[in-house]
Chain A
Amino acid sequence: MSLFSGIRPRRGGLGLVGVLLIVATAITPMAASAHYLGGSWWYNATFLLPLSYQNQAGGYPAYSSAIVQGASNWYSTPTPSDLYSTAGSANIIANTVWDTSSSYWGVTHLYANQQVCFFFGCWTFNSEIPYGAYTSPTSLGAGWSNYTSGSITLNRATLDYESDFTRIKVATHELGHVQGLGHAYTPNCTSVMQQGYLSFNRPQAHDSYDFDQLYPGYWSAPYAC
């Protein structure tokens, strides 16, 4: 007799199938997009995407200015991006660190709520989003909410040796991440989401296109490579 020959819906088979589906969903890897992190902030598709940020870099004017300019760079694009600064609690924190033990310029974190279900109940945790949950451009993996918060950090130990131009590029790049954009690797297609030194420090047509694909409805930048 087959192990599963006794499965009948009236005997709880649906519950068993449900659990197996949950497990299958949880362990099935999905390809991440090259241009998006996966997931997004909640967006109503017809309005701006206003997100507040707390600029904590006031002790280092070159950095606080770069953060303000980075937010302004995104505001100036044909996208719903609308990052505005606030004194109190915020959606995004922008700060600095003095880290001499790494070569990075900037770091971004994103957080979301994760609902964890066992067969006897479900719980919700707010946590940093794991890499494996960045599964598709428009949503995180099973059980994950939209983004709930994010942070960008600029490393003074490396950026002190760079120009204002590059500091603004890094702030703009990290603010692109915190809004849901991933790194861009397309050859011959300029993007502020490329890593490293660039000859520009503002979002390019490709970035606006990607942004409007992620948050569609308000604006529609034309396709650009």
Chain B
Amino acid sequence: MRNFKLFSLAGVAVLAVSAILTGNISLRSEAVYMTDGPTFNDIADLTKASHAVAQVKIVSAAKSYRVPFDKAQVVVSPRNTDGAKGKEQPQSSVPAVDFKQQGLLHTDFTVEVVDAVRGSLKNGQRIVVTQLGGTEDNGALTNTEHDTLMKVGAQEVLFLRQDAQSGKFFTTGGGQGRFTVAANGTVTPVDQHSQLARLVTGKPASFVTGAAKAAP
């Protein structure tokens, strides 16, 4: 009887912990944007495409917002009829849906320039860097593949372009223009699959900033 009580107590405790864990894991929605965009072969290439280069400290993150899609104007084109496929022309067996997306999530980060490497930025200056992705009102998180959202408190070397309309900055080539600086001063490319990753992983931050300064 004593064993049964002990077992029951342990069982309830494990079930409760499991429910919490399961709940946290299942309800923690972390979606991903898959993207295509220009790629860069080396630091010189990346620098050439950037308006500024700086080592920064991420100070704060603002509430995420959506950049709205263009107003929909639906056009229908004739179905392909070429070859063997054209003879069949079946309809999709997956139920069609009405989409309710309003736009793409973005998040503005305020960053402080620690080391202005190139361009018109000054040490100590605070600028806003926009990233694709963010957090919905319900807590659901969306990251961009190879360009995860910045972490407040971290230091990164950023290759930046400036949005002429808003004055805000964004990184050149998404994650390709971001290098996280570790406490020991070495860098890790945020986009681990980029060509740049092979060149700079584990190198000191000065390797990246030096290459940016030296770029024509």
Chain A: residues with CB nearer than 8 A to chain B? Answer: 1, 3-7, 11-12, 16, 19-20, 22-23, 26-27, 37, 41-42, 44, 47-48, 50-52, 54-60, 64, 68, 71-72, 75-76, 82, 84-91, 93, 95-109, 114, 116-119, 127-132, 134, 143, 146-149, 151, 153, 156, 158, 170, 173-174, 177, 182-183, 185, 195-197
Contacts and interface: CB of A to CB of B under 8 A. Distances in A.
B74 A56 contact: yes
A93 B98 CA distance: 9
Nearest to B193: A185
Interface string B24-47: 011101111111111100000000
A131 to B, nearest CB: 4
Nearest to A52: B92
A122 B199 CA distance: 48
Contacts of A71: 80
Contacts of A174: 34, 36
A132 B37 contact: no
Contact of A58 (B68, B73, B145): B73
B26 A109 contact: no
Contact of B68 (A6, A89, A97, A108): A97
A223 B38 CA distance: 28
Contacts of A3: 6, 10
**Which 6 residue pairs of A and B lie closest in terms of their CB atoms, listed nearest first?**
A196-B39, A58-B73, A6-B7, A128-B31, A56-B72, A58-B75
A117 B22 contact: yes
Given A4-B10, A48-B85, A103-B38, A64 B26 contact: no
B18 A100 contact: no
Contacts of B6: 1, 3, 6
Given A48-B88, A101-B106, A130 B29 contact: yes
A149 B82 contact: no
B36 A170 contact: yes
A182 B145 CA distance: 11
B170 interface: yes
A107 B99 contact: no
B134 interface: no
Given A26-B26, A50-B91, A93-B101, A84 B80 contact: yes
B105 to A, nearest CB: 10
A88 B74 CA distance: 9
B97 interface: yes
Given A47-B90, A84-B79, 16 more contacts: A5-B3, A6-B3, A16-B11, A48-B88, A48-B90, A50-B91, A82-B80, A96-B69, A99-B67, A104-B174, A106-B35, A108-B34, A114-B26, A149-B99, A174-B36, A183-B34
B71 to A, nearest CB: 7
Contacts of B135: none
A37 B34 contact: yes
B215 to A, nearest CB: 18
Interface in B154-177: 161, 163-166, 168, 170-174, 177
B74 to A, nearest CB: 6
A87 B170 contact: no
B139 to A, nearest CB: 12
A47 B68 CA distance: 37
